[in-house]
Structure 1
Amino acid sequence: MNSEQKKALLSLKTSKGQIEATIKMVEEDRYCVDVSNQIMAAQSLLRKANLLILKQHMNHCVTEAFHQDSGSEKIDEIIGILSKIIGK
């Protein structure tokens, strides 16, 4: 596991804890704005984890694909992911 994957895993585990806390907040009928803030914090960590995974993919998988003359396929994959991220 490389450093990007380790950082992504930490973000995912932290977001898991935040999601569990958010569920508990809803079950306890906590203030809606507090629940919303907790949801946004979890979303932020998930976005961070996604970017770290994509960075790792670009640095390793895409680079290796270009060395094997199959880089255009990896570029198409990245474009597909980016289009989902930006909502197009």
Structure 2
Amino acid sequence: MKTNSKSGNLKRLSRIEGQVRGLARMVEEDRYCIDIVTQIGAVRAALRRVEEEILREHVAHCVEHAISSGDKADQRRKVAELMDVMGRAGR
């Protein structure tokens, strides 16, 4: 993973960690349910953005390398991995 992408993702994940701690506090404080659910949605959206960035990096480097290598087995493996993870992400 590129250094700038890695540091950006780590910053996002750190913010998400803080959001999750905030959610725990909200539950402990018996905050309004809809406010909690709204914040859960925000955490999910933030995680999706990190996931998309990491997948983008994977395609730009690992999958691209497999394609340019000419190794058919590696190409099939990388595409199968990608399809598998995309299928799980859609659930």
Q: Which amino acid aligns with 2:47?
A: L
Pairwise CA RMSD:
1.3
How many residues align? The count is 87
What runs of 5+ residues in structure 1 fail to find an aligned partner? none
Q: Which residue of 2 aligns with 1:47?
A: 48
Show CA shifts across 1:35-62 (max 9, x none): 1111111111111100100000000111
Matched residue, 1:75: 79
Per the alignment, residue 59 of structure 1 pairs with: 60
Where do 4+ consecutive residues of structure 1 move more than 6 Å? none
Map of 1:32 onto structure 2? 33
- Structure 2: tracts of 5 or more residues without a match: none
When normalised by structure 1's length, the TM-score is 0.89
Structure scoring higher RCO (CA < 8 A, sep ≥ 6) equals 1
**In structure 1, what residue type is equivalent to 2:85?**
I
Cα deviation code 1:9-53 (max 9, x no counterpart): 222111111000000110011111111111111111111100100
Work out the percentage of aligned pairs sharing the same amino acid. 33
TM-score by length of 2: 0.86
In the alignment, is the contact (CA less than 8 A) between 1:7 and 1:52 conserved in 2?
A: no
For 2:55 and 2:6, locate their aligned partners in 1 and report how far apart those are by CA, in whole Å: 10
User: What one-letter code is carried by the residue in structure 2 that aligns with 1:29?
Assistant: D
Q: Judge conservation of contact 1:26–1:35 (CA < 8 Å) in 2.
A: yes
